[in-house]
Structure 1
Amino acid sequence: MPPLPAPEFRPAFRPRTPTPEQPVRVAVVGTGGWGEQHARVFADRTDTELVGVVGRDVTRARARADAYRTDAYTDVDAMLDTAQPDLVTVCLPNEEHFAPTLHLIERGVPLLVEKPLVFDLTEADALLDAAAERDLFVAIDLNHRYAEPVQRLKAAIDAGDLGALVFATWRFGGEPNLGGSRHANLIETQVHGLDMLEQLCGPIASVMAQPFDGTHPGTVTTLAVALEFASGAVGTLLGTYDSSYAYPGTHLLEVNGTEGRGLVEDTVRRLTLSRAGDDVARVWQAGYFDDEARDFHGTFDRYVDDLLRALRAGGPPPVPAEAGRRALQVAHAIIRSGDEGVRVTVGTASQA
């Protein structure tokens, strides 16, 4: 969606806080692939009502709205004024989030924004500042957190089952999703790894990156990053657009401690927990009737459960937009490291 022109003055949108008996009214901005996942979730739930789909192309917007039994719009303000949603989700092309998101924040509507938040730290800060001025609920979709193996691994780490953490490894990637930025792989796709590694292992303190642009000169399609965590643990991240999602082991997450190891395969497929010196491991993988747990898109459904609870309670989002800003901060440190060939200190979440 192109940047929106300066709108005529409109009063701040004042959404209601739904009671437990009322469905949450949701509108989706965007008609792409993940926009369809958003439309699916909010159309199918019994505790939500999909009240509109907004797209820049009227034919696509109508087709998506018809498929999910709602109304189509090509103007965000017209949708807000007519549909009166309690929540708007933003599912636009990755590098076109800023202007529409800022506009929605200025209208005062609670938001769920697809990752990445934006590509530029100054824009991220502008969005967060505008939301803070309005005490506005703004969440970001980092749904990998909600995979069953990941949640079980975090519980094991928090319980001390792995002992003191020593190292962690993240590997993820497949076919390219190239955009205008030479760092799309890092900022759009590996955002999940940056967020996940910090969720499991604590803050990343410094990074040393080795980029590769041999398949698309000028665009970093693969990169290897050496990580130092604030705890003293170390790690690696390998992110690529030079592989295939058809390959087994597309995603691998390993966390190794003094007492054991956790290994997550393909995000939702399997978790293996091992104890040091023990040949017998504990394995979780979805059982016969657990189709939801093995479905990657189901991680978004699980996230929405938490999101709606927080929205109804008037509390903070389960994954606030600040998490997207933090991942972007780490990504920019990685970019600088790759450009300059030096190790770069990341700093705390409050430091750019």
Structure 2
Amino acid sequence: MIREAPVKAVVVGAGPVGAIHARALAAHDSVELVAVCGRTAAKTEALAARHGARPHLSIHGMLERELPDLVCVATGNRDHPGPVMAALEAGADVFVEKPMAWRLDEARAMVEAARSKGAALGVNFNHRFSDPYLRALDYADGEGLGTLAYAAMKFAGDLYKELDDPYCQLIETQGHSFDLLRLFCGDIAEVSAFLADPRGIGVYTSAAINMRFESGAVGALLGSWDGSYATSSSQVLEVAGTEGRIVVEDVIDSVRIFEAGRGDYREWRPGIFDAQGRDFWRTIDRHLHAFIDALLEGRKPPVTAEDGLRALEATYAAIRSFEQGQPITPGGA
């Protein structure tokens, strides 16, 4: 389906990430931000007023009154399915934060609902949209790597405040890691996971996951909430092939490109005056604008619902591998 400008858009969720969605929508020339829906009246009214939009406290009431073309869902991660399914049922396209759902059955229902409605459903894996990752992908797509050999990912940050699920570190955070590994290496054929609870709090805050890709390449992921986002190299992706290698550090910080047979490498970093390039949160604006442009041009979203589902399936394959003590193929129950 091709949307015509102006695209009537609404935001569900009046917290910090919802505010970024609202900012991005308001800045797009082909979008009219008409409403914000939240749980708290004061926060919802304040965010709506900032953009000249109408505040709502009921998702169903907002959908009935505003008849939006696009619904951006930035609620708490466990609360995504309700607004997403309601928006799809109302005929809207949807852009939802990651993880698209907490449970696999919820995510699969969302994918099927979007298919049955012919709607676009995008998932916000915004790391893809940093300049270092975009430059790395250009090099990889240009076959500079040769035949893929391996990928190594580390994503290790601070302990979250909400520790309400033994596997929340994997579900909350490492979807980004699985998405980036799939982006550069293709679908994951098999995972084998080892998890650790070093604090003895009933939450596995560190994980080491080995994997095999359908391409034949191998990979490893070290994911943790026992590190720190305040230090360098909290996130590093290295992808190597027979002809070259790329290393991306800290999403927005840098990309290094190594070519086989050369003793030097190329490095790119955002310039000193490139404020947006150094702003991690602007990757959300960039992704949302790309999603809107795809709607206007009748293209599939840059990150599809299927991409979101595959990342969640890989996450749950890692969980099952740990529980069963054996390698698991993603995509099962």
**Aligned with 1:129 (options 112, 120, 124):** 112
Contact 1:163–1:258 at 8 Å: present in 2 too?
Answer: yes
Determine whether 1:321 maps to 2:309. no
Amino acid of the residue matched to residue 241 of structure 1? W
Determine whether 1:146 maps to 2:126. no
Deviation of residue 289 (structure 1)?
A: 4.0
Tell me what 1:310 maps to.
294
Deviation of residue 118 (structure 1)?
A: 0.8
Percent identical: 39
Tell me what 1:258 maps to.
242
Determine whether 1:51 maps to 2:34. yes
Determine whether 1:211 maps to 2:202. no
Query: Counterparts of 1:9-158 in structure 2 under 5 Å?
Result: 18-19=3-4, 22-158=5-141
Contact 2:48–2:55 at 8 Å: present in 1 too?
Answer: yes
Task: Give the SS at the match of 1:345.
Answer: coil
Query: Counterparts of 1:240-259 in structure 2 under 5 Å?
Result: 240-259=224-243
Tell me what 1:192 maps to.
176
Amino acid of the residue matched to residue 25 of structure 1? K
The separation in 2 between residues aligned to 1:243 and 1:161, in whole angstroms, is: 32
**Aligned with 1:232 (options 180, 196, 216):** 216
Deviation of residue 340 (structure 1)?
A: 1.7
Deviation of residue 18 (structure 1)?
A: 4.8
Contact 2:8–2:32 at 8 Å: present in 1 too?
Answer: yes
The separation in 2 between residues aligned to 1:66 and 1:216, in whole angstroms, is: 45
Tell me what 1:170 maps to.
153
Task: Give the SS at the match of 2:277.
Answer: helix
Deviation of residue 327 (structure 1)?
A: 0.7
Tell me what 2:274 maps to.
290
Deviation of residue 66 (structure 1)?
A: 2.3
Q: C-alpha deviations, 1:76-132, integer Å up to 9, x for none? A: 122223333221101111112122222222222111111111121111121222222
Deviation of residue 252 (structure 1)?
A: 0.5
Q: C-alpha deviations, 1:134-183, integer Å up to 9, x for none? A: 11121111111111111211221222212211111111121223343222
Amino acid of the residue matched to residue 146 of structure 1? F
Contact 2:11–2:72 at 8 Å: present in 1 too?
Answer: yes
The separation in 2 between residues aligned to 1:237 and 1:100, in whole angstroms, is: 32
Q: C-alpha deviations, 1:194-249, integer Å up to 9, x for none? A: 01101101111111111011225221111010111112211110111111110111
The separation in 2 between residues aligned to 1:313 and 1:301, in whole angstroms, is: 18
Query: What are the ranges of 5 or more consecutive residues in structure 2 without an aligned counterpart?
Result: none
Cα 1:32–1:176 change in 2 (3 A) is farther
The separation in 2 between residues aligned to 1:215 and 1:31, in whole angstroms, is: 33
Alignment length, in residue pairs? 332
Q: Superposition RMSD on alpha carbons, in Å?
A: 1.8
Query: What are the ranges of 5 or more consecutive residues in structure 1 without an aligned counterpart?
Result: 1-15
The TM-score with structure 2 as length reference comes to 0.94
Amino acid of the residue matched to residue 88 of structure 2? I
The separation in 1 between residues aligned to 2:149 and 2:299, in whole angstroms, is: 35
- Tell me whether 298-307 or 52-61 shows the greater mean CA deviation: 298-307
Amino acid of the residue matched to residue 181 of structure 2? L
**Aligned with 1:161 (options 133, 144, 155):** 144
Cα 1:311–1:90 change in 2 (3 A) is same
Amino acid of the residue matched to residue 19 of structure 2? E
Task: Give the SS at the match of 1:344.
Answer: coil
The separation in 1 between residues aligned to 2:139 and 2:216, in whole angstroms, is: 20
Q: C-alpha deviations, 1:277-311, integer Å up to 9, x for none? A: 42221111112443322221222222123211221
- Give the 4+ runs in structure 1 shifted more than 4 A: none
Amino acid of the residue matched to residue 88 of structure 1? V
Task: Give the SS at the match of 1:169.
Answer: strand
Q: Which structure exhibits the higher relative contact order, with contacts defined as CA atoms closer than 8 Å and separated by 6 or more residues?
A: 2
The separation in 1 between residues aligned to 2:35 and 2:290, in whole angstroms, is: 22
Contact 1:226–1:235 at 8 Å: present in 2 too?
Answer: yes
Cα 1:70–1:216 change in 2 (3 A) is farther
The separation in 2 between residues aligned to 1:314 and 1:252, in whole angstroms, is: 34
The TM-score with structure 1 as length reference comes to 0.89
The separation in 1 between residues aligned to 2:292 and 2:27, in whole angstroms, is: 14
